[in-house]
Every structure is written in structure tokens, then in C-alpha cells.
Structure 1
Amino acid sequence: MDGQRPIDIDGGILEGGGQSLRVSTALSCIAGKSIRVFNIRAGRTTPGLRPQHLSGLTAVRDLCGGSLLGGEVGSLEITFQPGPLKGCQLIADTHTAGSVCLLLQVTLPCALFSASPSCLILRGGTNADMAPQLDYMLQVFKPIAEKFGVKFDCNVKRRGYYPKGGGEVVVKVSPIGTIKPIMLTERGDVTKIFGRAFVAGSLPFKVAQVMAGAATQRLRAEFPGVPLEVKPIQEPRGAAFGNGNGLIVVAETSTGCLLAGSALGKRGMPADKVGLQASEMLIHNLHHGGCVDDYLQDQLIVFMALAHGVSRVLSGPITLHTQTAIHFAEQLTQVKFSVTKAEGHLDSQEKFIIECKGAGITNQQI
């Protein structure tokens, strides 16, 4: 514990949801600064901690042996005092369809600055609404995170879907000395598009085929001549819990950028509409001309703030999630981000350079 008065974090400003809690808790843990978060999820119809947020908080607490006051479902305020990050094996279970990917967002940065390797057993929804799908984290986030020097292995034990969850992934993280800065400022040309259309449980394989076919048709019309493959997948019975369907399509560019679009099926939604939704999201992300898509944009902020050196990322329009991540990263690390209109781009789409000279946090325990 740092012994200082906790830093006050207003969880109701900007995005006003769980992201404020994830960013501030992770950076509190790494920087060794106590925080008091109030107005938790004040911008939501059901304010306060939900089970998935509490799972993330207790996981971070266990990684550092810290203390957590107010850690109850429905709580509007918590106080968190971090201890030294030691690394361990832990289980973070939402007991709902809450996203395992959001659990990874809050625990991964902390595990990187631990004294020893960590094994994170994350349980909940692997392909959940209002969060990146697990396939996105593996196919887009992970390779870009590796540019920061971040390494982790992810073993998918079982997939889980709304409303029951039941998924499990095991993430093994090795500690890191410092985080490297990144330069993602040249988008390059799209060299290939690949994807995965899945069904699980009692849903027929035909649904996956229709999703894949609709996505393929739309993307082929938009990007003629670009190699394109969207595979329909039937999840094995023992590898998934419950019924679910969805799709992710990823574009890779000549400079190593990865941008994606995704969608999940819902009751009553035609399979071809799921394929079209994912395709339109990818098209949007490619047409703005940035090096990162809307989902990845905010996930890079914590790593840019911690890095040793200057990072620059070319993005499309700045999302509210990114603005929120920048606000709390600046508050907890004292770094400064700049967001400026990218010069030399003559098309109608707005592009921006997100730049930060990181705090250069060093893991003193390894």
C-alpha cells in the first residue's frame, strides 16, 4: 500500500461504465496508488458493480495482495489499496455471461508487472455482447499487443454464450521488464481478409454457412481481388456451453495492421443479417483509413501510458471509450496524450494521431 490518501476517480464521467473501473484499477495496481472510485457505472440503467466487474476487481486484488472496500454487487463506491504484484494462479469467474475478455483487459497489465508468471483462469462469456469476442482478442489484440513486447498464451477450454456463460479460458502471462512504445502510423493496403462464422449447441451448421456466405458476398463486392476466406465452424459439443452463433472478419494489411468487424446472433435475427453486420463494421473500420479499428483503439491506451518512449497510433474518429481511457490514464500516471488531426489526408474521412510519451514504468521485481 502506498500510505497516501486515495486518488478520487469519478466513475460516472465520459463513458460512465465498467471501462473507467478497469483502467483505473489496473493502473492503480501497477503504479502502487490507492484509489477511491465513486459513481460506479452511473451512466448505466443499473448503476453500481455487476458480477463481472466485481470478478475483475477481486482478481486484481488477489494478484497484488491488496485490499478492497465496498466490493459487493450493486456497490456505487469502492476503495482499492494495492500491494506488491506477486503473480499467482487465480480464478476469476463472473458466474454469468459477463465477458472473459473484459476480465483479461483488467488483469493482463497487472500480470505483466508481477514478480513471477501468472496463470489466469477466466470464466464467463467468451463471445458476449457489448464486449470484444474472444476471437477478436486472439486474432487482433494479441498480435498488436506483441508489438509492445507483451506475451501471453491463451488456451480456450470451453466457449460460453449468453445468457448462461459457462466459458473458460486459461491465460498464462510472463512478467515483463518494460513495455516498448509502438508506431502504428502507416495503414498500407489490405492484403487479405479472413474470418470465422460459428454455431454452437443445437443451432444447425447451415446457420454458420449462411453467415459466412453473406459476409463473403458483401466483402467481395467491396474489396474485389483481395484474397478472402470466411470459414463456417460447428463448435464441438464438449467445447462449448449453451447455444450461440456469431462471426468475426479480420483484414490484414501490408504494414501488419489488423482491423476487424464482428457480430453475434440474437433470437429472431436472420443469419444473413449477422454476416452483413460484421461485414459493414469491417468496411467502416477500413474506410476511415486508420491503423486500428474502433475496438482496439481504446485498448492500447493503458500500454501507451506505461511504455518507455513515445508511441503514435493513426486512428479513425476517437471513440468515447478512448477518451475515457485517456482521461484516467493521465490522472493515474501523469502522462499527457495528444490527439491531433492527421495531416496529408485529403479524403473526407477524419483521421487522428494519438500520441503519448509513456511513463516508462519499470518492473523492479524481475
Structure 2
Amino acid sequence: MSGSLIKYSGHNYFRQRLILSLLSGKTVKIDKIRSDDDNPGLRDYEVSFLRLLEKVTNGSIIEISYTGTSVLYKPGIITGGKVFHECHITRGIGYYLEPMIALAPFSKNPFNVTLTGITNENTDVDLIRTVILLQLKRFGIEEGLELKISKRGSPPLGGGEVNFQCPIVRSLKPLQFIDEGRIKRIRGIACSTRVSPQNANRLVESARSVLNRYIPDVYIYTDVYKGEESGKSPGFALSLVAESTTGALVSSETAANPGDTPEDIGKRTAQLLLSEIRKGGCVDSVSQWLVLLLMVLGPEDVSKVKIGKLSAFS
């Protein structure tokens, strides 16, 4: 029933619960957030995410308990428009950007959101640009859809900046996508900030040493940032995308942790991509949740998609 309160416990799927609350117009209460932890309650990045939701909506009411272990969220209207948000650097920009992609098509005004922080970590902004955004196009959201990376930022200090623009739609197109086809080519981006450009080349070489045994058509771009555009910390990362004969996209990405060599990252990312390909399906683990959500929000016509192994997240 509309306006009813839905209750959840624990900190898992925090973003999803808030996004679904907004899209359905139902109030949610999340309690017992890390209540047994030495450091109970919401983390800084979760509070930062709530602040971002406030900026892209109008009339949302957020009540956080004194201990931070309980949140009540009464959804408002998704207004979008021009928004600037400084993401907390304990999580990458991808953490904040993914939910925005789910909300943007249903906004009152076209989204024009600029986020600053860490560009390459957990969910890589390159993969959001090359894989997740393309899933929106399958549902008819194309004109004016853009993700621009103006500055790179590696952990721990970040300093990156991205701009996300998305049009609004009257209704989504139904999706029919059940032929996964065969992998025909692999593309990738090896990026580095505040380290020798040679690191990006080493990423490419080590990834190719694994992938060329699988398929000859492999091309990985190097994206080396220097000076102002390179953020505040040294680092490097690799994202790979395999495309099939029917346009299915399968991806993997890894950002370097302290002590990792470019060779480690290159091989690890290539092996992750091959294991993702082995799972099969027309949609990879990174995009499953968004495709399923948009299918639910689509028109009465039946949508069909073939998916490999469902991720826990989905």
C-alpha cells in the first residue's frame, strides 16, 4: 500500500534500498546498522551518499538516529538538474554514480551531475562509461547520455572528477536480448596517475599475454594522466570489455593496491574477464542489477534477457 513503511535490518544493500524507496515512493526504515560493531552506525561514505540523494531530490526526509544505527528515509521527487557533489574518499566515485544511473531517466529534469573523488576503485568509472551506460541505450535512453572523466583520481586521496549527463524518458523500451553470440573482440583501458607512463604499457603487455591465447582481436588503450588532471595519489588500473557478435558486453576491472605490480594487475584482470565470459549470458555481473531493475520499471510488454550466474548483488 502506498505510503506504507518497509523495514530492513543491517547495512547490506544500503544504496539499493534507498533507490527502490525513491522509485516506488515507499518510506523505508533501516535499523541495526553495524549495531554489533566496535564502531557502530553509518560510515562516512554512506552519509555522503545520503547527502547526494538530498541534492538530486526534492522533499526527501532523512532521519538518522543519535547512534547512527538507524535511518528513516521518506522519499521525495527525483528532480535531477545540475548538481555538484564531493564524494567521501573512503569509496570510489562508482559507488555514488551507479545509483544515479538508475534514478536519472525518471527525473523531472535531465541529470547533470559532477562528482569528485576516486575514479578507479571497486566499480571503475571506465566500466560505467563503456558497459553500464550502454545498457541504458537498450531501453531507448540515448540522446544526451554522457559520462566524461575530466580528472583521474587514485586512492587514497582521490582528486578525480567526472560529469554524468542523462536525458529523461517518457517510457522505457521493452528489452528482448537472449542471444549472447560469440566473443569477437576485447577492448580495454589501462590508466595511470602520478607514476611512470611505462606502468600503463606493462599493464597492457601482461593482459595481452593471457588474452591473446583466447582471441587475436585485443586492443587496450593507455590513458596516462599528468599534472593537474592526475589527482592527488599515484596509482594505476585496468578495465577490460569483451564484445560478442550480438553486442553483449562482458567486463572486468582491477585497481592497484599498495605493493601490486602492473604485471599482477594485468594478469588478474584478464583472468577475471575470462571467468566472467565463462559464466555466459547477455549481461555481465556488473550490469545485471541495472538491467533487471529497468525491466521491472519498463512498460507492460514482456522483456526477456538471458543472464549467466546471478551475482549476490543482483
2:276 to 277, 282, 285: 285
Could you tell me which residue of structure 2 aligns to residue 147 of structure 1? 138
2:198 to 176, 185, 206: 206
Scaled by the length of structure 1, the TM-score of the pair is 0.78
Q: Is the 8 A contact 2:89 2:156 kept in 1?
A: yes
> What SS does the aligned partner of 1:320 have?
coil
CA shift in 2, pair 1:42/1:193, >3 Å: farther
Tell me if 1:222 matches 2:221. Answer: no
Code of the aligned partner of 1:149: G
Alignment of 1:93-108 (within 5 A): 93-108=86-101
Partner residue, 2:52: 59
**Residue 252 (structure 1) shift:** 0.7
- Please list, as runs of the form range in 1=range in 2, the aligned pairs for 1:21-170 lying within 5 A after superposition: 21-40=14-33, 48-65=41-58, 66-70=60-64, 75-128=68-121, 131-151=122-142, 152-170=145-163
Residue 286 of structure 1 deviates from its aligned partner by 1.0
Check the 8 A contact 1:117/1:172 in 2, yes or no. yes
State how far apart, in whole Å, the 2-side matches of 1:175 and 1:235 are.
33
Cα gap change, 1:115 to 1:299, in 2 (>3 Å): closer
- The residue number in structure 2 matching 1:319 is 311
Q: Report the 3-state secondary structure (helix = DSSP H, G, I; strand = E; otherwise coil) of the residue aligned with 1:310.
A: coil
Q: Is the 8 A contact 2:3 2:25 kept in 1?
A: no
How far is 1:218 from its partner? 0.5
**Contact kept? 1:94, 1:123, Cα under 8 Å:** yes
Alignment partners' CA distance in 1, 2:283 and 2:246: 12
Q: Distance in 2 between matches of 1:222 and 1:215?
A: 11
Contact (CA 8 Å) 2:190, 2:203: kept in 1 or not?
yes
C-alpha change, 1:264 and 1:172, in structure 2 (3 Å) is: same
Judge conservation of contact 2:132–2:286 (CA < 8 Å) in 1: no
Specify every segment of 5 or more residues in structure 2 that has no aligned partner in the other structure, as ranges: none
Q: Counterparts of 2:309 and 2:37 in 1: how far apart (Å)?
A: 24
1:181 alignment partner, SS class: coil
CA distance in 2, matches of 1:9, 1:190: 41
Alignment of 1:249-328 (within 5 A): 249-308=240-299, 309-322=301-314
Gap change, CA 1:42 and 1:158, over 3 Å in 2: farther
Give ranges in structure 1 of 5+ residues lacking alignment.
Answer: 323-366
Which secondary structure does the structure 1 equivalent of 2:77 belong to? Answer: coil
Aligned length: 309
Change (3 A) 1:46 1:278: farther
Distance (whole Å) between structure 2 residues aligned to residue 106 and residue 29 of structure 1? 11
- Encode CA deviations 1:200-241: one digit per residue, 9 max, x unaligned: 11x112211111101011000122xx3111223322322221
Query: Secondary structure, in 3 states, of the residue corresponding to 1:122?
Result: strand
Alignment TM-score, normalising by the size of structure 2: 0.90
1:174 equivalent in alignment to 2:167:
yes
Q: 1:46 to 1:184 in 2, by over 3 A?
A: farther
Deviates more, 1:56-65 or 1:21-30: 56-65
After the TM superposition, which of the residue ranges 276-285 and 147-156 deviates more from structure 2? 147-156
Equivalent-residue separation in structure 2 for 1:256 and 1:25 (angstroms): 31
Distance 1:44 1:240, change over 3 A: farther
User: What secondary structure sits across from 1:285 in the alignment?
Assistant: helix
- Whole-Å separation in 2 of the counterparts to 1:43 and 1:123: 32
Distance 2:2 2:217 in 1: 57
What residue in structure 2 maps to residue 195 of structure 1? 188
Q: How far did residue 42 of structure 1 move? A: 6.9
